[in-house]
């Protein structure tokens, strides 16, 4: 493989970071997966190490040298949400690549680029956090993604938090006990309901990503017929549809114009439990939303976007 033959895509996230290396024809040459690049959790040095390790792995897997990367795109969680940290995140790839042929943005861009193959439209990410991003006729917009403390509605973290709220209410008798209560006790090995506090607040408290995985217990309870768990997913679908509709307006889609919309992120692994209320809420918000299954995974989308940005810079 000669120099300047491939494009690197990096899809960072609150739980994992995935890397893809593709050639000029879009063929996947190598891919890798490492830990989170959420800098508030692991620090900027942690981000640098994850990026270095992943890049080394895909280059090794493709039998390529670093100078083979014609252009790279890094989608990083929390990018753009802290001006000082963003400037430092922006600089990290330059040291690793040894050149300036790259771009950085929030990881939301990777979801859009993969799901819609870089075409105009909107993508909703519901992973550890939630956010929406879209492009139309050269304009871009984002919505949501303000962090789990007061936003990230419809995300796996949000679903988990709502599930824990329902659990506490069931334990107190403020809600009738449903399957959700038993599922949490069994899966977390709780002998006493209040022991759950140590799992959330204690010395060995769950990480942000592991906390979000509690959403799987809410999904299990919903499949067992727990009405409160099912209602959490109904609310999640409605929240995500609100994010999508705000982007439809921000991108100025016209009346009657088809609005291509796709989705990505681990919360959607719940399948129709989340997709069904999401579809219903989208239709109520705007009947011209056209929900499309994702075409590619976000890390591959990031590499496609790197190729697109490279062509754009060459024509500039």
Say if residue 192's pLDDT is above 60: yes
Q: What percent of the chain has pLDDT over 70?
A: 98
Instruction: Give the mean pLDDT of 47-64.
Output: 97
> How does residue 316 score in pLDDT terms, banded at 50, 70 and 90?
low
CATH no. for 119-294: 3.30.420.40
Structure tokens, 60? 């090794």
Closest to 144 in 3D by CA, of 236, 211, 206: 236
Q: How far apart are CA 73 and CA 235, in angstroms?
A: 34
Q: How far apart are CA 249 and CA 265, in angstroms?
A: 23
pLDDT at 105: 97
- Look at the block and give the residue holding tokens 């921000």: 250
Structure tokens, 286? 């705007």
- Please state the separation of Cα 16 from the chain's center in Å: 10
Q: How far apart are CA 302 and CA 73, in angstroms?
A: 6
Residues forming a β-bridge with 28: 22
- Burial environment of residue 38 by CB neighbours within 10 A (0 to 12, 13 to 18, 19 or more): buried
Say if residue 2's pLDDT is above 50: no
Helix/strand/coil for 176: coil
Inter-axis angle of helices 108-115 and 298-315, nearest 10:
90
Q: How many CA atoms lie within 13 A of 270 on its CB side?
A: 33
Q: How far apart are CA 50 and CA 33, in angstroms?
A: 9
If one compares 102 and 209, the residue with the highest pLDDT of the two is 102
Q: What is the pLDDT of residues 264-281, one digit of tens each?
A: 999 999 999 999 999 999
Say if residue 144's pLDDT is above 50: yes
* Cβ-contact 73, 309 below 8 angstroms: yes
Report strand pairing: 139-144 vs 130-136.
Answer: antiparallel
Say if residue 4's pLDDT is above 60: no
* Cβ-contact 306, 110 below 8 angstroms: no
- Each domain of the chain, given as residue ranges in start order, spans 6-117+296-315, 119-294
pLDDT at 1: 41
Query: How is domain 6-117+296-315 classified at the CATH fold level?
Result: Nucleotidyltransferase; domain 5 (3.30.420)
Closest to 237 in 3D by CA, of 202, 258, 263: 263
pLDDT at 21: 98
The answer to whether the 6-117+296-315 and 119-294 domains have the same CATH topology is: yes
> How does residue 315 score in pLDDT terms, banded at 50, 70 and 90?
low
Inter-axis angle of helices 179-188 and 227-250, nearest 10:
90
Closest to 298 in 3D by CA, of 133, 136, 140: 133
Mean pLDDT of the chain: 95
The answer to which of 13-17, 97-101, 160-164, 248-252 has the lowest mean pLDDT is: 13-17
* Cβ-contact 12, 76 below 8 angstroms: yes
The model carries a pTM of: 0.92
Q: How far apart are CA 122 and CA 127, in angstroms?
A: 16
Q: How far apart are CA 206 and CA 163, in angstroms?
A: 15
- Burial environment of residue 163 by CB neighbours within 10 A (0 to 12, 13 to 18, 19 or more): buried
Say if residue 308's pLDDT is above 70: yes
């Amino acid at each position: 493989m000669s120099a300047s033959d491939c494009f690197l895509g990096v899809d960072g996230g609150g739980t994992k970071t995935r890397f893809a290396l593709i050639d000029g024809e879009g063929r996947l040459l190598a891919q890798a997966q490492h830990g989170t690049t959420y800098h508030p959790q692991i620090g900027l040095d942690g981000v640098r190490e994850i990026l270095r390790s992943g890049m080394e792995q895909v280059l090794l897997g493709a039998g390529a040298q670093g100078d083979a990367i014609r252009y790279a795109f890094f989608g990083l969680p929390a990018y753009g949400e802290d001006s000082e940290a963003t400037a430092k995140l922006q600089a990290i790839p330059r040291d690793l690549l040894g050149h300036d042929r790259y771009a950085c943005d929030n990881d939301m861009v990777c979801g859009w680029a993969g799901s819609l193959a870089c075409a105009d439209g909107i993508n909703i990410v519901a992973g550890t956090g939630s956010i929406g991003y879209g492009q139309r006729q050269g304009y871009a917009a984002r919505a949501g993604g303000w962090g789990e403390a007061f936003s990230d509605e419809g995300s796996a973290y949000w679903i988990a938090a709502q599930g824990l709220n329902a659990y506490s209410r069931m334990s107190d008798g403020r809600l009738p006990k449903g399957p959700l209560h038993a599922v949490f006790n069994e899966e977390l090995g709780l002998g006493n309901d209040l022991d759950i506090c140590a799992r959330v607040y204690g010395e060995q408290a769950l990480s942000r990503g592991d906390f979000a995985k509690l959403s799987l217990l809410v999904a299990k309870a919903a499949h067992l017929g727990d009405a409160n768990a099912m209602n959490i997913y109904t609310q999640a679908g409605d929240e995500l549809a609100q994010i999508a509709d705000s982007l439809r307006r921000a991108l100025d889609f016209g009346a009657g114009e088809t609005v291509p919309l796709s989705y990505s992120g681990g919360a959607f692994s719940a399948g129709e439990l989340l997709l069904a209320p999401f579809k219903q809420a989208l239709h109520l918000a705007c009947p011209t939303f056209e929900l499309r299954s994702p075409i590619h995974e976000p890390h591959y989308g990031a590499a496609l976007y790197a190729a697109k940005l490279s062509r754009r810079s060459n024509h500039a």
